[in-house]
Structure formats: structure tokens, C-alpha cells
Amino acid sequence: MNKKRPKHLALHLIKLPLPGFVSILHRVSGFALFLALPLLLLMLQYSLQSIETYTQLQSMYANPLVKLVMLGLMWAFLHHFCAGLRYLAIDLHWVHNLAQARNSSKVVMVVSLILTVILGVELW
């Protein structure tokens, strides 16, 4: 039991497996959606308030930076949704072993990116 262990763990040197990366992205995307929720609700209110505020909001959407932010929020929602379905499948014991967990994390990454590209083309 006299193993030499490091006193300080070098987190930047640890290679995180893909399921761990998906888990961190799930938390980050949920936090981003939580922070963006008041802004999104305000935009919904302006879009429903009157035709003048709707046209102002529509002209704001013409800005490429706003479109990029909306694309990022769209990815956050789609990734959070797909990863949530993955965790639901894990909790229901539909994913039984490590290989299935790794494959499901690959599916989450691919599906969320493909859906973001498809919906992003419509947005842009």
C-alpha cells in the first residue's frame, strides 16, 4: 500500500471518454438553455405583442450574429433532448453494457449535429 500517488491531479492530461464528454455537454447545454430562457420568453412576448414589435424582432433576426446565437441555442436544445433520451434509456435498463453506452453516446453526438445542420439551414 505504499503507492506513490500524485498530490495534485492534472485534469488537462486526462483523456475523457465520449460518454463522459456527452455528459458534460448535457450539463452545459442545460445551463445555457436555463440562462437563455428569459431572453427567449421576452422574444416570444415581443413576437406576440403587436405587428410592429414582430417586424422589429424579425429585422433583428437578419443579423448574422443573432442567427449564430440562435443556432447555438438550437444545438443546445437538440443535444440536451437527445442526451436526455439516452439517459432515460440507461435508467430504463435498455442500455446494458459499456459498448452500448459508447454507441449511444456516438448516436447522440451525430443525431444532434445532423438535426442542428438541418434546422440551421432553415434558420439561415
pLDDT, one tens digit per residue, over 3-14 is 777 677 777 777
Mean pLDDT, all residues of the chain: 90
Residue of 82, 72, 73, 71 whose CA lies nearest to 112? 82
At residue 83, does pLDDT exceed 90?
yes
Please give the residue that has the higher pLDDT: either 15 or 65: 65
What local confidence, expressed as pLDDT, does residue 26 receive? Answer: 96
Mean local confidence (pLDDT), 13-18 = 84
Tell me the C-alpha to C-alpha distance, in Å, between residue 29 and each of 7, 22, 48, 81, 84: 32, 10, 27, 10, 11
What local confidence, expressed as pLDDT, does residue 6 receive? Answer: 65
* Residue pair 22/86 in contact by the 8 Å Cβ criterion: yes
What local confidence, expressed as pLDDT, does residue 8 receive? Answer: 73
At residue 2, does pLDDT exceed 70?
no
What local confidence, expressed as pLDDT, does residue 1 receive? Answer: 60
